[in-house]
Amino acid sequence: MDQSRQDPAPDPAVKRLSLYLRQLESLHRRDVKTVSSRQLGESLRFTDAQVRKDLAYFGQFGHPGIGYTVVELIAQVRHILGTDKVWNVVLIGAGNLGRALAAYKGFTAKGFCLVAVFDNDVSKVGRKVGSFAVQPLAELEATVRKHAVRMAMMAVPADNAQDVADQLVTAGVRGLLNFAPVSISVPADVAVNAVDLAVQLEQLLFQVNTSAASKKSPG
Amino acid sequence: MDQSRQDPAPDPAVKRLSLYLRQLESLHRRDVKTVSSRQLGESLRFTDAQVRKDLAYFGQFGHPGIGYTVVELIAQVRHILGTDKVWNVVLIGAGNLGRALAAYKGFTAKGFCLVAVFDNDVSKVGRKVGSFAVQPLAELEATVRKHAVRMAMMAVPADNAQDVADQLVTAGVRGLLNFAPVSISVPADVAVNAVDLAVQLEQLLFQVNTSAASKKSPG
DNA sequence: GGATGTGAATGCATTCACAGCA
DNA sequence: TGCTGTGAATGCATTCACATCC
């Protein structure tokens, strides 16, 4: 299906790929035509060797003596990540965070398309979130099938998270972006990516207090 | 200042510490008294050795033959992370995401205290976000000083992020939790932790498409 | 000269395996 | 027996350094 597979492609490299893409898109908006591995890495605080090796896992995209041409590399990275196509997603949870996610422009800019919003709270069902009427979870499976949804964002209370995850898996969703502050269990063929806002702040606090600062998590 | 420092404490271990704490608090709510390294790690998909080594970086908290006593370990981990004290934070950005963050209960549950909300958009200044009237950034420095604020959450547009970061640093803030989809530059003694929602979804997509699934980022 | 791609070397994190204690 | 704490061994990611090409 894809071109030049070699090694299994290390997981940390994939995480950085998204950040490279973000930089590249920024360069493109500023009409920059080519970029070197050093330039691409510097604002992210990655070494040039790191950038080259990461990209080389997926193919040979550079031009010796020149660097990488921005539009070309953008296309390649999008293809690798899969964002050269549009993917439908659903959102579970119409609380404060859920509504913010529904309104977030960044998702559509990356090619994701929200197709429905769900919540089991009867006081929320039927209310509008953006252009969507909140649906009960009973309608999840039908919507997932109809729109070929493979990913869901979960912005639900901790107590409901496992239950909601189970329903999503049953409905056929293959990837969960979990904002609830609990770890959830899913079958091995389902992917989970967790974003715990309080944990992020907690980790920042540790960095601040040890004042080692200016280390990991660039962005 | 703190008890048993040995090695510089590996960064990945610190990231997991927050997750251990989350599990421990959950166990405590269920009245569980003691927990083994195996039990503590299993729902997070960490090995028992990993858990023991991580905790051992900070001291000797366990009881051979028994495990760790939950309340004891909670206190220790909170002390290590610094969440045994209350920390004041400010929020910049009163858009959709900002308002969701302001309302998020998870922060106060961890001991963080939001003390002010800022935005430079004149249409937002003065409006209420929760119990806070949105202030202009001109008032940032005074508020930071008054409440001894060391950390800020940035939920601002990408174009303003660097400018806002600069102002926060000038005002004396030492840690930034950045939700804007750009990398920002700060002095070496300031910590940045970035949360890019679109990047999270992008990385989930890759996992789903390679269907290797069920790997990293537990939670 | 300037830049990529990549084997080799380094460094770091995880896992193993076991001594020691309850 | 059950479990921790920890040196030693393993495995993996990053960095180095250089052959190669524009």
- Chain segment B72-97, per-residue pLDDT in tens: 999 999 999 999 999 999 999 999 99
Question: Which residues surround strand D, with CB < 7 Å?
Answer: A 10-13, 46-47, 49-50, 52-53, 63-66; B 36-38, 48-49, 52-53, 55-56, 60-68
Question: What is the Cα A175 distance to its own chain's centre?
Answer: 10
CB < 8 Å & 24+ apart, contacts of B61-70: B62/B37, B63/B34, B66/B34, B67/B34, B67/B35, B67/B36, B67/B37, B67/B39, B68/B34, B68/B35, B68/B36, B68/B37, B68/B40, B69/B33, B69/B34, B70/B24, B70/B27, B70/B28, B70/B32, B70/B33, B70/B34, B70/B35
A7: tokens are 């090694």
Of A residues 25-64, those with CB within 7 angstroms of nucleic strand C are: 36-38, 48-49, 52-53, 55-56, 60-64
Other Cβ atoms within 10 Å of A213 Cβ, number: 17
**What pLDDT, on the 0 to 100 scale, is given for residue B8?**
73
Cα–Cα distances (Å) from B120 to B88, B94, B135, B181, in that order, read: 21, 9, 8, 19
CA–CA gap between residue A134 and residue A118 (Å, rounded): 5
**Residues of chain A falling short of pLDDT 50:** 1-5, 213-219
Partners of B218 on chain A (C-beta within 8 Å) are 183, 192, 194
pTM equals: 0.93
A72-107 pLDDT tens trace: 999 999 999 999 999 999 999 999 999 999 999 999
Nearest nucleotide (C1') to the CA of residue A34? C3
Tell me how close the Cα of B159 comes to any Cα of chain A, in angstroms. Answer: 11
CA–CA gap between residue B186 and residue B209 (Å, rounded): 35
For the stretch A43-66, what's the b/e string if a residue is b when 16 or more beta carbons lie within 10 angstroms of its beta carbon? bbebeeebbbebbbbbeebbeeee
**What pLDDT, on the 0 to 100 scale, is given for residue B6?**
56
The H or E element spanning position A113 is: strand A112-118
**What pLDDT, on the 0 to 100 scale, is given for residue A212?**
52
B182-203 pLDDT tens trace: 999 999 999 999 999 999 999 9
**Residues of chain B falling short of pLDDT 70:** 1-7, 212-219
CB of A60 closer than 8 Å to CB of A67: no
Partners of B202 on chain A (C-beta within 8 Å) are 18, 21, 81, 83, 110
A141: tokens are 């499976």
DSSP A63: B
Chain B residue nearest residue A110, CA to CA: B198
In sequence order, what are the residues at sequence separation of 6 or more whose Cβ sits closer than 8 angstroms to the Cβ of residue A2?
Answer: A79, A80
Interatomic separation, CA of residue B50 and C1' of nucleotide D4, rounded (Å): 12
Other Cβ atoms within 10 Å of A205 Cβ, number: 27
